Amino acid sequence: MEYKLTFQQYNQALKENKLLGLKCQECGAVTAPPKMVCRKCTSPNLEILELTGQGEVKTFTTVNVAPEGREEEVPYIIVLVGLDEGPWIMGNLENIDPAEASIETVIGKRVKMTHKVFTGDRYSAGDGARPLFSLA
Amino acid sequence: MRKVAVVGVGETKFSGPQSKTGVELFAEAAMDALNGSNLKPRDIQALFVGNVLGDFSEAQGMVQAFAADNIGCTGIPASRFEGACASSSMATRDAFVWVASGFYDIVLVGGVERAATMGTPLATRTFSMFSDSRYEYPSGITFPAIFAMLANLYVTTYNVPLERLKEQMAKVSVQSYQRGFFNKKAHLRKQVSMEDVLKSYMVSTPIQLHDSCPFSDGAAVLVLASEEVARKLTDKPVFITGVGQSSSGPLSSQQDYLPRIRARELAAKQSYAMSGLKPEDIDCCELHDCFSIASLIAAESLGFWEYGKSGDAWMNGEADIGGKVAINPSGGLKSKGHPVGATGAGQVCEIVKQLRGIVEKERQVEGARIGMTDTLGGDGGTLVNIILERGW
């Protein structure tokens, strides 16, 4: 059985600011990030769908201690965004002073999306784009 | 399925960076467990070891084979278990099932790690490997960041003001330090005040340094035996009466449950059902306090307090020795330490000693008969729950 939407395809599309997900042909649910099967009904009968990248911030944190090799990135904000199509997805939040980021200024706010590429390290088997959100 | 008991336990001190190898640490703890069980290496039929990062921390893979050979168990089946921070709890549950099924009578289970020896940058990087490497790590996810996001979500989900939650989180740490101070095996034995916690370095908002457990080196080992064998070896067998295990995908996939960790609720349900027990039956519980918020979230999912209310319990002393259920009388991951692959086995060692009444008196849960361990790996990727009861 072929994997419908691989990380390689997802990564390539996200580098063009396209967020790809999967629409279940059985139950209609949207799955993102991609899996072999529908996140709701576990059917593998899925079709690729381009998502809007818009949604609402569900939670966040401002990171001050970086993993090895990513020290220049701090401070950075990680968010979990509830996309309009249903699934939650992890990404970063930009265009806000990390010192200003708080529950009141970030959670519940609408966001729009571009991308940023993690160029990879010796362990990662290549690079990886992630959603880069900003307050809409 | 036969009944299975812990016969003997052994632990090294949990510590910061130190020079003994993983095999050496495991061997020391293993010999203590064997001696405490009146057994010899030749009595052991199989070895189950939790070790997560030996490859990174000391370029040692397959540590279980070298450990078996090192302690005189050359040739026995030796298996390594990896469930991030829940590895040796996973190993314990697995070993329990092998003995309960009748396949083995006497086995050795444990874990070892040199997480402190790795240093903070590499430890932070390797711990991030327990998150999704394609869909989470590119965002720069770290362990503190995961629980920081859960803490903010806890605020909005249960309407607990952040300032109050931070006090409750600080109380969790202060209590852990208070109990761990008297634990001779603990990594961080110090007196820390609420003020110290709230003034400490901000790692990932709102999680501060003293909300976070350390990386530790250490090993913990148990001997498990069938009831028939156990009763010949000890007059204080501690029976494993409930086990549960569950798994999960990345944090975002748990959207219907966060800040609750669904895998924990599934694992605990299995364990309670198997033992026929309820939360109110548990006298003491070693739960997974990698960060103080994790304790609050865990205690609620284990059924000790209502969602959003466990912080009040800590503030009222209900979560301490003398309260409703003694949480982390060892000092927990916070103070006793967190040698990842060894942590789960260490939690079982603690409960066994509590039920036998042999820990330092300042942290003994008087009359404890029933205990529980709760161990979490990754962002809820692996969860193991074990219930233990006095067999006398």
How much is the pLDDT for B366? 98
Closest CA to B236 of B389, B344, B40: B389
Same domain, A100 and A117: yes
The pTM score is 0.98
Range of the domain at A8: 1-51
- Lookup result for tokens 């039929």: B45
Alpha-helical runs (H) found in chain A: 7-14, 103-106
Catalytic residue among B187, B210, B288, B338: B338
* Contact between residue B215 and residue B17 where contact means Cβ atoms under 8 Å apart: no
Catalytic residue among B73, B85, B213, B285: B85
Same domain, A24 and A70: no
Same domain, A29 and A75: no
Same domain, A36 and A69: no
Among this protein's residues, is B187 annotated catalytic? Answer: no
Overall domain count for chain A: 2
Same domain, A60 and A115: yes
Residues of A in contact with B145 (CB under 8 A): 61, 63, 78
Same domain, A35 and A57: no
Tell me which residue in B134, B140, B258 faces A63 most closely, judged by beta carbons.
Answer: B140
Same domain, A118 and A57: yes
* Contact between residue B343 and residue B127 where contact means Cβ atoms under 8 Å apart: no
Over the stretch B219-241, which tens digit does the pLDDT of each residue have?
999 999 999 999 999 999 999 99
Among this protein's residues, is B213 annotated catalytic? Answer: no
Percent of chain B with pLDDT over 90: 98
Domains of chain B: 4-119+215-239 (3.40.47.10), 142-212+240-390 (3.40.47.10)
pLDDT-derived band at A96, boundaries 50, 70, 90: very high
Residues of A in contact with B205 (CB under 8 A): 61-62, 64, 101
Over the stretch A46-78, which tens digit does the pLDDT of each residue have?
999 999 999 999 999 999 998 889 999 999 999
Residue B337, H or E segment: none
Residue B120 CA to residue B132 CA, distance in Å, equals: 20
Same domain, A60 and A43: no
Residue B71 CA to residue B25 CA, distance in Å, equals: 11
Count the neighbouring beta carbons within 10 Å of the beta carbon of residue A128.
Answer: 23
Over the stretch B136-187, which tens digit does the pLDDT of each residue have?
999 999 999 999 999 999 999 999 999 999 999 999 999 999 999 999 999 9
CATH number, domain of A126, equals: 2.40.50.840
Residue B87 CA to residue B9 CA, distance in Å, equals: 17
Same domain, A101 and A37: no
Mean pLDDT of chain A: 97
Over the stretch A110-120, which tens digit does the pLDDT of each residue have?
999 999 999 99
Over the stretch B27-70, which tens digit does the pLDDT of each residue have?
999 999 999 999 999 999 999 999 999 999 999 999 999 999 99
Secondary structure string (H, E, C) spanning A50-79: EECCCEEEEEEEEECCCCCCCHHHCCEEEE
Residue B340 CA to residue A59 CA, distance in Å, equals: 27
Q: Do B134 and A103 touch (CB under 8 A)?
A: no
Identify from B128, B135, B209 which residue to disrupt to test chain A contact, counting A C-beta atoms within 10 A and taking the largest count: B135
Same domain, A91 and A132: yes
Same domain, A47 and A63: no
Length of chain B: 392
Identify from A3, A12, A60, A65 which residue to disrupt to test chain B contact, counting B C-beta atoms within 10 A and taking the largest count: A65
Residue B311 CA to residue B296 CA, distance in Å, equals: 6
Same domain, A73 and A134: yes
